[in-house]
Every structure is written in structure tokens, then in C-alpha cells.
């Protein structure tokens, strides 16, 4: 890692505050108070003050192989010195893009054999909207255009991605969603399950899809899109009854099933794709993040034969693509990343070893007086913070999100990145996290909970 005393933190913060507009940030309120991150190795990041922080979020759910992997940098360097950029429009290709398409198709379920590359998860979901609509036009069903998505889902930040997402604060800025997208309830048992058992609630949440399709008419519904496990919404793990019922409904009503694998893809749930974990067969899978472990920006849509046979097979030219679709250096980064995941057997490791190991320790945090539920699947987990353990839906007597933000700040002070979503805390560490580091993560999370609890007591909130 770099030597941090080379950095003049205050000057960096001031320069940042002068010109940099931060994503998903109140940039004015932030002012010259950014954390300046200068290095990363394995599961650790280092700030400009020399603090080592355990990156419990794998960046933004993306650094599957951890930080600082030289072989990815070397692969990118080698590709850049050969061919740093060329496009894949106009009847051209290049070795890294064809190899990566081949590789992703070999990892994807057998019925999915085509990959359309993009620069990000948001672009992938915009591509999904275009593909889905094109598919039904070509099938001679031009009225099948509406896409059903879920409240509190996240599918990106472009106009299309934010519209598919069900984040009301995002919708409130800029008149979203665009027409042709409707949202149904999410399978969030802790928050919305009422008196139902998880299994009953899972069926109820899935049947909201059936009800919405029947209300609009199946002849007007093009697709349903969902994350296998909602990530940005707060690591919401659907009850086991949910996905099989969703798959049944889509199949029976002839609705395309889009499974957004941007977070769950590439090992996060202990399978190459989250849909494999839940046993469903998607028609389209948007991907990004873990595809390159975030070393360079790249995403894509993995397409089933059902859709490709129509849109490619019968559709002629598809007027869609990005300058950076199949960027050679990004493809080289992705190939090197996937080679590491395969060589180090990280997917099996999440399913059989580190996944169960961390899950057991994380769930034990459920005993803490501040925790209403500690859940984890694969290597993504959440802690629901509650003022008292009397029931699931009890809220703090403070604006929603204040306690989560307080806890997140204590986490940073304890050298751990945990993200606050509402009043829950979430983690999604790199897949390479060792047993000792997993213990360290849980120890720091526990200290963070203790500090948050003490502060809430002081404020009379618990």
C-alpha cells in the first residue's frame, strides 16, 4: 500500500470540495470533509491519514477478488500497449471481447449463450428495456411493453435504471419513473411481513406480481425485473417460497424474467449467478461489478437463446450500443479477474467455507440488544437495528436513517466499512476474506454496535 504520510489530507479535501460533485451525496453538506482513500490490498483500504480500514462492502459490492491484484493490472497494461481502444460496431471485433463473451457464456446457465457488453450496471438495465421491447415487437405483440419492477429495488441511476428501480427519493427528483414501468411490493419479511410466516409472506409477495399482470392484462406486460437478493435496498433476502412462485407466474403468463445479477453475479451467493442459487432460469441477466471486480468499468446483458433467437435471429440490426461496449482493456481486466475467481475457487469457497463461517458469526450478532435481525446469505448480510426487541416493526423515535448513519460513522471510527440503509447495516465483503479477517470484521461490528447502543442510550433513544 502507498505510504500515507505523503498526503496532505486537508489540502486534498479542500481541492475535492472545490470542484468534485459527488454521486449520491449532499455535496454542499459534505464540504471539505471527504475521507481520502489512497490504497487497497486484499480486504483492506488505507486512508490518507494512514488508517487501515476493513472494506466490508468490497468497494460498492464489486471487488470480489479484493484490492491490489497485480495480475489484473498487468493484463490491462499488456492489452493497453497492444490495443488500448477499438470499437465493436461496424463488423469489427478483437480478441479480449470475443474471449470474454465466450467465457461468460460458458459460466452462465446452458440456455444463455449471448452477451451484449456495456460500461455499467445502469447501462445494462437500459439495454434490457430496449431488448425486451424489441423482442415483443418482433414477436408481433407490440402492446406487450410495460415492465413490472419492485418497490425498493435498485437497478441503476440512468433514467431507465432509476425508473426500473423502486427508490422513491430517486423518483422524486426528475419525474420518474418513465411511463411503462410499474412497481409492486418487495419480499421484505422483516419490514413488511406482518403476522405471516416467512414462507406465507414469500408467496404473498410473489402473488403481487400475478395480481399486477392480471390487472393490466398479460398482453400488455413485457417483463418482470428483480434482484435475486435486493442489495442497495438493504440486503433483503426473499423467503424460499418467493422465487419459485415468481418463475411459475412468469412462465404461465408468458412474461420475460429479467434477473439483475449486478450484485449477486460472480460468486456473491456461492454460485456463479444468484439465479442459479434460487433455481430460476432468467431470460435476461444484466451483469457488471464482479465481472471485473471493479478494476475497470464493464457490464453486460447475458441473453437467453429464447430472446437472442428472435432479436438477433429475426430482428436485423439492433440500433443500440455504447462507445465502450466491449472495451478491450476492460475486457482484459474482466478476463484476468475471472481467471482469479476460477483458480482460487472463490465461488465454491463462498458456498462451502467462508460463507457458512461468516454467516454463523454474523447471525450471532442477532443477540445484541440493538439488533432485531441478523441475516446473511452467501457473503452479503444485514443487521436490522431496533430500539427494543419486542417485535419486528419497531422504529426508533428519530427520523428514519439517523441511527443507521450514526452506526456507520462508528463503524468507520472502528476501522470497518459497513453501509447504513435506513436503520439497518449491511456488509458484502470481498470473496477472498480470510477466516481471521472475518473474525475481525465481526469483532469490529460488535464494537460498533456497542458504541452505537451507548450513544443511543445517552440520547434516550433506547
Site of interaction with ligand PMP (CB under 6 A): 60, 120-122, 125, 154-157, 161, 227, 231-232, 260, 262-263, 288
User: Angle at which helices 402-413 and 435-458 pack, to 10 degrees?
Assistant: 130
Question: Over the Cα atoms of the chain, what is R_g?
Answer: 22
Query: Which of residues 61 and 396 has its CB atom nearest to ligand PMP in the complex?
Result: 61
Beta bridge partners of 146: 221
Q: Kindly give the pairing relationship between strand 146-150 and strand 112-118.
A: unpaired
Q: Which helix (H) or strand (E) holds 192?
A: helix 189-192
| Residues shown for the chain | 462
Beta bridge partners of 114: 303
Query: Which of residues 227 and 437 has its CB atom nearest to ligand PMP in the complex?
Result: 227
Rounded distance, CA 53 to CA 58, Å? 12
Query: Which of residues 162 and 340 has its CB atom nearest to ligand PMP in the complex?
Result: 162
Query: Which of residues 87 and 158 has its CB atom nearest to ligand PMP in the complex?
Result: 158
How many degrees, rounded to 5, is the angle at CA 331 between CA 24 and CA 260?
50
Query: Which of residues 161 and 372 has its CB atom nearest to ligand PMP in the complex?
Result: 161
Tell me the closest approach of the beta carbon of residue 64 to ligand PMP, in angstroms: 14
Tell me the closest approach of the beta carbon of residue 294 to ligand PMP, in angstroms: 9
Alpha helices, DSSP H, located in 365-428 = 402-413
CB atoms within 10 A of CB 215: 10
Pair 8, 397: CB distance under 8 Å: no
Query: Which of residues 338 and 456 has its CB atom nearest to ligand PMP in the complex?
Result: 338
Helix (H, G, I), strand (E, B) or coil at 68: coil
Tell me the closest approach of the beta carbon of residue 324 to ligand PMP, in angstroms: 12
Tell me the closest approach of the beta carbon of residue 296 to ligand PMP, in angstroms: 12
Query: Which of residues 9 and 158 has its CB atom nearest to ligand PMP in the complex?
Result: 158
> Which residues, other chains included, contact 26 with Cβ-Cβ below 8 Å and sequence gap of 6+?
none
Amino acid at each position: 500500500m502507498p505510504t500515507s504520510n505523503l498526503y496532505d489530507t486537508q489540502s486534498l479535501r479542500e481541492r475535492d470540495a472545490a470542484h468534485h460533485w459527488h454521486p449520491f451525496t449532499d455535496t454542499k453538506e459534505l464540504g471539505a470533509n471527504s475521507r481520502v482513500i489512497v490504497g487497497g490490498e486484499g480486504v483492506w483500504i488505507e486512508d490518507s491519514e494512514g488508517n487501515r480500514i476493513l472494506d466490508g462492502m468490497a468497494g460498492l459490492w464489486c471487488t470480489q477478488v479484493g484490492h491490489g491484484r497485480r495480475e489484473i493490472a498487468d493484463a490491462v497494461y499488456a492489452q493497453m500497449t497492444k490495443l488500448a481502444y477499438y470499437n465493436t460496431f461496424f463488423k469489427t471485433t478483437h480478441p479480449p471481447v470475443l474471449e470474454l463473451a465466450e467465457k461468460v457464456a460458458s459460466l452462465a446457465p446452458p440456455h444463455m449463450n449471448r452477451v451484449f457488453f456495456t460500461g455499467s450496471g445502469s447501462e445494462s438495465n437500459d439495454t434490457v428495456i430496449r431488448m425486451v421491447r424489441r423482442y415483443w415487437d418482433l414477436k408481433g405483440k407490440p402492446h406487450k411493453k410495460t415492465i413490472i419492477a419492485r418497490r425498493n429495488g435498485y437497478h441503476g441511476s440512468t433514467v431507465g435504471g432509476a425508473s426500473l428501480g423502486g427508490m422513491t427519493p430517486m423518483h422524486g427528483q426528475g419525474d420518474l419513473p418513465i411511463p411503462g414501468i410499474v412497481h409492486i411490493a418487495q419480499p421484505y419479511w422483516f419490514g413488511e411481513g406482518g403476522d405471516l410466516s416467512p414462507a406465507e409472506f414469500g408467496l404473498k409477495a410473489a402473488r403481487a406480481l400475478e395480481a399486477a399482470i392480471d390487472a393490466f392484462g398479460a398482453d400488455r406486460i413485457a417483463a418482470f425485473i428483480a434482484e435475486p437478493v435486493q442489495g442497495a435496498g438493504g440486503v433483503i433476502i426473499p423467503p424460499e417460497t418467493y422465487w419459485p412462485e415468481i418463475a411459475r407466474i412468469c412462465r404461465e403468463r408468458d412474461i420475460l424474467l429479467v434477473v439483475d445479477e449486478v450484485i449477486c453475479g460472480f460468486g456473491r451467493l456461492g454460485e456463479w449467478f444468484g439465479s442459479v442459487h434460487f433455481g430460476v432460469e432468467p431470460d435476461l441477466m444484466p451483469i457488471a461489478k464482479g465481472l471485473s471486480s471493479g478494476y475497470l468499468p464493464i457490464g453486460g446483458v447475458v441473453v437467453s437463446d429464447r430472446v437472442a433467437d428472435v432479436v438477433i435471429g429475426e430482428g436485423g440490426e439492433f440500433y443500440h450500443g455504447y462507445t465502450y461496449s466491449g472495451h478491450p482493456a476492460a475486457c482484459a481486466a474482466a478476463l484476468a479477474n475471472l481467471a482469479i475467481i476460477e483458480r482460487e475457487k472463490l465461488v465454491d469457497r463462498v458456498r462451502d467455507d467462508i460463507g457458512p463461517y461468516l454467516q454463523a458469526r454474523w447471525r450471532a450478532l442477532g443477540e445484541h440488544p440493538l439488533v432485531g435481525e441478523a441475516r446473511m446469505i452467501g457473503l452479503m448480510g444485514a443487521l436490522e437495528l431496533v430500539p427494543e426487541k419486542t417485535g419486528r416493526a419497531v422504529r426508533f423515535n428519530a427520523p428514519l436513517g439517523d441511527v443507521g448513519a450514526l452506526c456507520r460513522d462508528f463503524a468507520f471510527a472502528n476501522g470497518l466499512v459497513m453501509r447504513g440503509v435506513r436503520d439497518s447495516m449491511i456488509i458484502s465483503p470481498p470473496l477472498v476474506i480470510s477466516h481471521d479477517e472475518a473474525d475481525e470484521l465481526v469483532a469490529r461490528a460488535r464494537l460498533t454496535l456497542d458504541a452505537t447502543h451507548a450513544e443511543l442510550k445517552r440520547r434516550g433513544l433506547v
